Amino acid sequence: MYSKFWPKGGIPGILHHFTETLVTFEYTTGQVRQPHSLLFVGGLGDGIGTTSYVADMASAMAQSEFSIFMLNLTSSYNSWGLGHLDRDTNEITQCLNYIRDYKTDKYGSPGKIVLMGHSTGSQCVLHYLHRPNPFTTNHRFDSELEHLERMPLDGAIMQAPVSDREAIQWVLHWGFNGKTPSEVKAVYDQAEAMAREALRDKDPKFDTILPLEVTANICYGANVPISARRFLSLVSPDSPATPQEDDLFSSDLSDEHLKTTFGRIRDSGLLRHRLMVLFSGADQAVPDWIDKEKLMARWRDATNHNGEVQIWDDEHSGLIPNASHALSNDDQAEPRKFLCERVMSYLRTVVEN
């Protein structure tokens, strides 16, 4: 079905191959000089053109010195259940390297380069900024993964950085697709047991796909294959004591743990400017027992090492009033305008920095 948020006739731009099989699309009018770049990474199920508010951002940037890129990852669209953050971030690194070289060839310098993530794209942004550079993890199930060195970013933005674990807890609290909470919990328990057994008993060089009839009845979709490893990473059943890779934004993670994620941004040296974080005020993926402002304050304190440094962008970060998760509902005109104005203001400070 056609999305009303994307203008009929499309948005002009350029399709780039940043690897032999992966592409990024640059939204650009070609009418103004755009030496700077923003690379946008969507969430689970996203790919090029699927996050509708990017149309608003592309329009806002049309007469600016920034062009906006969206990309396809190996884990885009319905392949997210087979991916992992190291591979996603590695492919984002390849795309950023391509953009740097492309803008250098075109304008004589790379310009400013900003990375923005929506939802799980925010996990990619934080993963990029805090993990060892290059990655040190050897994935036996993904042994061909390259360990690329990541370039420093001129800016970083996270929008709708929600916890997949708490989103599932919200589903278990309310039920799903006509099933009661207890019925959904029974299916979830089955999926967790199957995933734990697969990781315990199977050859570690291979992953195991959970039955679609199980994962679809939790809320993951009837056509989305999900591996045992990715399922356990998303639901992170041993959290908050032992959070898995995808569990970066849960509200019950300790301050000590946040020091190992947000708190490592300073020492990584991968962010030249400040971190901007926008939380959707009416995000339907966030349980109502979570205090969003309090949670963001804890992230800010960890990022700033309790006031020792100023990495968190206080001027542009905050709640987007009345915003849904992806700002895609019919009543989201004002939240989308708010987001675009904040992003454009932030980008101006990046250029000035």
For 227-352, list the strands marked E by DSSP: 275-280, 318-320
Q: Model confidence over 40-56: pLDDT tens digits?
A: 999 999 999 899 899 99
3-state secondary structure of 330: coil
Q: Model confidence over 220-245: pLDDT tens digits?
A: 888 999 999 999 999 999 999 999 99
Q: Model confidence over 82-132: pLDDT tens digits?
A: 999 999 999 999 999 999 999 999 999 999 999 999 999 999 999 999 999
Q: Which of 5-9, 55-59, 184-188 has the lowest mean pLDDT?
A: 5-9
Taking a C-beta distance cutoff of 8 angstroms, is the pair 253, 239 a contact?
Answer: yes
Q: Model confidence over 170-207: pLDDT tens digits?
A: 999 898 888 899 999 999 999 999 999 998 877 777 88
Residue 2 pLDDT more than 70? no
* Cβ-Cβ contacts under 8 Å for 206 (sequence gap 6 or more): 141
3-state secondary structure of 267: helix
Q: Single out the residue of 135, 156, 143 nearest to residue 262, CA to CA.
A: 156
Q: Which domains are delineated in the chain?
A: 13-163+251-352 (3.40.50.1820), 166-235 (no CATH)
Percentage of the chain surpassing pLDDT 70? Answer: 98
Q: Which of 47-61, 197-211, 319-333 has the lowest mean pLDDT?
A: 197-211
Q: Name beta bridge partners: 116.
A: 40, 157
Taking a C-beta distance cutoff of 8 angstroms, is the pair 69, 48 a contact?
Answer: no
